[in-house]
Structure formats: structure tokens, C-alpha cells
Amino acid sequence: MSSLMPLQEALEHITHTLDVITPTEIIPLLEALGRVLACDIESPINVPPAANSAMDGYAVRCSDLASQSDLIVSQRIAAGQPPSPLAENSCARIFTGAEIPAGADAVVMQENTEIQGDRIHFLETVETHQNIRPAGQDIAKGMKVLSQGKRLNAIDIGVLASIGVADVRVYCPLKVGILTTGDELQSPGAALQPGQIYNSNGPLMTSLVQSAGHQAVKVMHANDSVADTEQALQMLSEQCDIILSSGGVSVGEEDHVKHTIERNGTLHLWKIAIKPGKPLVFANVFNTPFIGLPGNPSSTLVTFHLFARLALAKAAGEQLALPTPYPVKCHFSRKGNQSRDEFLRVHVQNGIATPHVQQSSGALLAASQTDGYLHVPAKHDVTPDSEFNFYPFACF
């Protein structure tokens, strides 16, 4: 048996070998949700730009209240109005978000005051800086707020708006071509003929690619022949930045993907030490990067999550790593695989993992009915009360 490559080694090889493929463009902030930032962003300003009040109340100079508890109101400052310096022995009526006048060093919330004629009576002792949000409290001028390679989420868009950014330089979306292979496959919607099964990997990979933030620009299917596979790969290479396929990478004479690549590019076929998901192709075909996932649907899913997702991210300019797993307890027994790390589809409740009854590489429903992967390294038996790392599907 040829030797199996450890998961981490294959992952490092793929991500180190692939370059960022997509060019960059400048787009309006409001179109940047889900796009990948192409440069670091430093704040050109303090946020807030000036000290402001955290409460509706009165801005005071604490030393004025050392010997008296009443002050006259010398000005009224609403948010958006530039204040005048605070006159001595006076207070300023102030509202949340309004700028603190020069000379004031605290704000007293109005609930702790009483209006007595034209004077304000202060009911509490006042501490310096209370209820004042200093300039730069949120973001200091010059601070790096976001890094190149960040896929922008709603919070990031808000942060960029808070520092006045109206346009951002982002990577153009990665154009992914998708290929499924196999004579037995029928499209959903058509009647199944004897010997056929529905093509689930096409829609699965398309959706995985899209939910990872890329564009699935062309989806093709090739029957089990070199001519068909070659034609499809050539067409995809002309229209896409990178090609993702499923099936046809094993050792049978009906597995044509690797022969086609050998004729038209460079092929690295690895047997990875994971289950499901042993055979994995990483290649260049018609001058286009190519990632070939195994055809068994749960192998396609696992290898997308563990490899393809990170490879596509690298090509798209995105900084991405595997999610950080956390340990969960197991209340079951299972003999460990001797050569491959297993990624069992498990439910997790109250920190306890229960495996789905169906763990076959060909079974996809188990993943839909569970919460994520339990990573059981090779040569490890699961025993009641043993602990293994868990990767929730929601983190992929």
C-alpha cells in the first residue's frame, strides 16, 4: 500500500504552492460586504474625534464643585454643535454624544441633579472624567483596524464607516469552475435510469464554493471518458481562475481525471491519511490550478472543508485557517482506524458527542443531521469518557 500523507502536510503544501490569483479593484463600501480586503486599513482619525458626553446631563469643572453644590448654566451643547470653553463656576447643559467644552472634566447625569431656579443643584459627589468618552476611545489615529486578507463582515463595514472610509480596495471574486465526473450521474429533476444515481456533488460543491464567498461561474459534468473530461477541463480553464472537481481520482480504469491531467498539465495525486477523503488531486491543467476531490459525497464534503476551502481562500487573497476545534467528551466506544484520522459526523449536546449511526463515505445525510466533525486521530480508540476535538460545521 502506498504511504498516506498526513493531513497537515498536504494542507501546507497546497496553501504554500498556490498564489493569489485574483486582481484587485476599488469599490464603494456598501458593496464590500463579503469581499476580501486587498490592503491593511489604518485609521486616518481618532474615533471619536473629540471627547464627548456619555450621558444627558451637565458638563462641569470638578474643582468648581469642591466648595459649592450649585452652578448656573452658561451654555447648551447638543450633539453636532461646537462648544465654547466652559466659563468658571458654571456648568453646560449637555446631551449624549455632544462635545465636551474645554475646561470641563466630568459630566453629571441629569437624574443626579435638581433644577433650582436658574441654578443646577448637584446631588452627588463628582469624579474627574466621569461620563466622558475621550477622543480616540474607540480607535486611535494611525491604528490598524483591519488587515489585508480579511473577508469583510457587517461589523467590519461599520468599523470602516466609523473612520470615514467610503471606498475600499478588495480582491476581485475568485471564479471557480466546477466539474463532476461519472457515467452513473443524473441531474436532479430528470428520471433515474437503471444504474444511475443523482449528482449531489455538483450542487453540493457549488453551494460550498458560494457560501465560502467565491463565484461558481461554470458547472460542468463529464462522462467517464478522457475525451469528455479533457473537453470539460479545457472549457473550464478558459473561463475560470481555478477548477474544483469530484470523482475520478481513484485507481480504477474508469477514473479519467488523473489521466487527462497527466496529458495536459502536472498532477500530484496524494493519498491523505483521513477518512473519509483519502484520494486528493492537486494539479495544474491547461495552465489552471486544479483541486480534485474524491467522489464519495461525504469524502467530497470533508475534503472541501479541510483542504479546498483553504486553497480557494489562498487563491482569493483571503487569510484563512482551519477553525479552532474544542474538546468534547465521548460516551461511546469505537475502534480506531490504524492509518487514517477519522472525521466522524457527530451530534454534540452539553459537551458530549454522539456519532451518527451512518458513517459511510457514500452517505451525505449524516452530515446534514449532525453538528460537526469529531476528529479521532489514527490509532486512537474512542472509549467512554475519552475526549477528542470537535469542529462545528458552523465554523466552516
Ligand X SMILES: Nc1nc2c(c(=O)[nH]1)N[C@H]1C(S)=C(S)[C@@H](COP(=O)(O)OP(=O)(O)OC[C@H]3O[C@@H](n4cnc5c(N)ncnc54)[C@H](O)[C@@H]3O)O[C@H]1N2
Give the residues lining the site for ligand X (CB under 6 A). Answer: 180-182, 184-185, 197, 199-202, 246-251, 255, 278-279, 294-297, 299, 361-362
Task: State the binding partner of 180 from ligand MOO, ligand X, none, CB within 5 to 8 A by kind.
Answer: ligand X
Task: List Cβ neighbours of 189 (8 Å cut-off, separation of 6 or more).
Answer: none
Nearer to ligand X, 260 or 296 (CB): 296
Q: Per DSSP, what are the bridge partners of residue 387?
A: 329
Nearer to ligand X, 248 or 317 (CB): 248
Please answer whether residues 17 and 242 qualify as being in contact, where contact means their C-beta atoms are separated by less than 8 angstroms: no
Site string for ligand MOO, 246-275 (x = CB under 6 A): -----------------------------x
Task: State the binding partner of 131 from ligand X, ligand MOO, none, CB within 5 to 8 A by kind.
Answer: none
Nearest distance in Å: CB 2, ligand MOO: 14
**Binding of residue 361 to ligand MOO (CB under 6 A):** yes
Nearest distance in Å: CB 154, ligand MOO: 36
Stretch that binds ligand MOO, among 27-35, 55-63, 254-262, 293-301 (CB under 6 A): 293-301
Q: Collapsing DSSP states into helix, strand and coil, what is residue 161?
A: helix
Nearest distance in Å: CB 359, ligand MOO: 10
Site string for ligand MOO, 313-352 (x = CB under 6 A): ----------------------------------------
Task: State the binding partner of 245 from ligand MOO, ligand X, none, CB within 5 to 8 A by kind.
Answer: none
Half-sphere exposure of 196 (CA within 13 A, CB side): 14
Task: State the binding partner of 314 from ligand MOO, ligand X, none, CB within 5 to 8 A by kind.
Answer: none
The backbone torsions φ and ψ at residue 13, rounded to the nearest 5 degrees and listed phi first, read -60, -45
Pure H helices in 109-170 = 154-162
- DSSP for 268-335, written as a single string: EEEEBSEES--EEEEEEETTEEEEEE-SSHHHHHHHIIIIIHHHHHHHTT----PPPPEEEEE-S-BP
Q: Would you say the C-alpha torsion 239, 242, 245, 250 has a positive or negative sign?
A: positive
Task: List Cβ neighbours of 67 (8 Å cut-off, separation of 6 or more).
Answer: none
Task: State the binding partner of 52 from ligand MOO, ligand X, none, CB within 5 to 8 A by kind.
Answer: none
Task: List Cβ neighbours of 190 (8 Å cut-off, separation of 6 or more).
Answer: none
Task: State the binding partner of 248 from ligand MOO, ligand X, none, CB within 5 to 8 A by kind.
Answer: ligand X
The residue ranges that bind ligand MOO (CB under 6 A) are 275-278, 294, 296, 299, 361
